[in-house]
Structure 1
Amino acid sequence: MVAALLAALLLHGTWRLLRRRSPWPRRLLGLIGRIAGARAEPIGLPERRAVLYLANHQSWLDILVIAGASGSAFVAKGELQDVPLIGWLCGMNHTLFVDRGDRLGVARQVDRLRTALAADHPVTIFPEGTTDGGGTHLLPFKAALLGAIDPPAPGLCVQPVYVDYGAAARDLAWVGDEPGQDNALRVLARPGSFTVRLHFLAPFDPAPLGRKGVAARARAAIEAEMTRAAA
């Protein structure tokens, strides 16, 4: 990981000196995920521009594999910012860290997300807001941050993403009040590699649905794919 980080920083600095948009933060996230054992297998075609991904959430690895496969930035809980290395890398990849308990700050967070969606890369939200599903079921989708697309910018679509760790989910899921550092060490200590299937589902136009309708439709699509994949 250290070697990959040093190489990526050198390449990132070179791209910045040349005033070119650097792909290295998201490539490094994907590589760190691979070093941690994750072998991403995209299923379906990810939209690349003017898109908000809504994904189920099981582990901090979700960010690494989705970033590596799609170049997405993220909205993530503020606690992730304190995870050694991962928090810093996510910040380099334009992650928006939010405090989901800050109800008074929702409007400010929505404005920040609206600004991020105007950039030329995808943005991912984990609308469950936590990983307590443990990979076995979906929690309710929270719609507060989806105020950023109510109404949506012209041409913006929403694409549900089902992140599937298969049988490895029970070893990787971040459940309950487990400290982030403990979870990271537990995941890194797991022997061998594992496949993460990223199901990029059919995108849809959020305009007629409103924020709660968008959350409900994306959750239904992911739940249906989860059932199909388990059959």
Structure 2
Amino acid sequence: MFLRSVAFACGARVRVVGTPIKRDVFFVANHLSWVDIPILGGYNGSAFVAQDGIASWPFIGWLCTLNNTIFVSRADRMGVAKQINQLRDALEETWAVTVFPEGTTTDGSLLLPFKAPLLAVLDPPPPGILVQPVFIDFGEAARDIAWIGEESAPNNAWRLFTRPGNYRVELHFLEPFDPQDYKGRKMIAAEARNRIQEALSASLKDKGAV
């Protein structure tokens, strides 16, 4: 509820499309801004996977800890096994984990390739876990909300808090699938990306952007 109130304070007026799974689920979402975390966390109650540098960011790092964020290092290749174990523990403890497999943010007009190593916890999948793709749609406000380039975290957070007016956000919880039906994390990543890409393309078509 606190994360939901943070999103509201930032101007987000959220409409949920579809039904989020409550437990034993690995959410895979597109990524536009740090505010994705309070928006998603406020509605699916999951833990998150984020790069370790975020842990030291003012305010945003603290927000991440509220949902037991798992901070992973892109540079620590030797620590991959430990990070996978952390993810598996988080799935057991919180029942739900969200990852942004693009590895960075976009302006919402495209979907970057998914980084399959971020789905290593699903290779092989823990028993009973489903994957639910999530499409975050900021609509016309996407370019204002998106965190692109070299903008600092505090500046981006302040820009969102001081932005006049509200903006609409749609959280599309897409049809889940069983990762056991796919051979390895690359195919799991590809299936999740295809489903989010279909939702993004449909949204752009509705807006007359394609």
**1:1-231 residue pairs with structure 2 within 5 A?**
27-131=1-105, 133-209=106-182, 210-231=184-205
How much has 1:80 moved relative to structure 2?
2.2
How much has 1:108 moved relative to structure 2?
1.7
Contact 1:43 1:199 in 2 (8 A): yes
Following the alignment from structure 2 to structure 1, what is the Cα–Cα distance between the partners of residues 149 and 94? 35
- Give TM-score scaled by structure 1 length: 0.85
Q: Deviations over 1:38-61 (max 9, x none)?
A: 111110000011000000000001
Contact 1:71 1:121 in 2 (8 A): no
- Which stretches of structure 1, 4 residues or longer, exceed 4 Å deviation after superposition? none
Give 3-state SS (helix, strand or coil) of 1:195's partner. Answer: strand
Give 3-state SS (helix, strand or coil) of 2:134's partner. Answer: strand
Structure 1 gaps of 5+ residues are 1-26
Higher relative contact order (CA 8 A, sep 6+): 2
How much has 1:225 moved relative to structure 2?
0.4
Structure 2 gaps of 5+ residues are 206-210
Contact 2:14 2:168 in 1 (8 A): yes
Following the alignment from structure 2 to structure 1, what is the Cα–Cα distance between the partners of residues 120 and 73? 16
Contact 2:46 2:94 in 1 (8 A): no
Q: Deviations over 1:74-114 (max 9, x none)?
A: 00122322232221122121111112233332222111111
- Give TM-score scaled by structure 2 length: 0.93
Following the alignment from structure 1 to structure 2, what is the Cα–Cα distance between the partners of residues 98 and 219? 21
Give 3-state SS (helix, strand or coil) of 2:114's partner. Answer: coil
How much has 1:191 moved relative to structure 2?
0.5
Following the alignment from structure 2 to structure 1, what is the Cα–Cα distance between the partners of residues 79 and 33? 25
Seq. identity, %? 50
Following the alignment from structure 1 to structure 2, what is the Cα–Cα distance between the partners of residues 114 and 28? 25
How much has 1:70 moved relative to structure 2?
1.1
Give 3-state SS (helix, strand or coil) of 2:135's partner. Answer: strand
Letter in 1 for 2:122: I
Q: Give the aligned CA root-mean-square deviation in angstroms.
A: 1.2
How much has 1:146 moved relative to structure 2?
1.4
Following the alignment from structure 1 to structure 2, what is the Cα–Cα distance between the partners of residues 82 and 183? 15
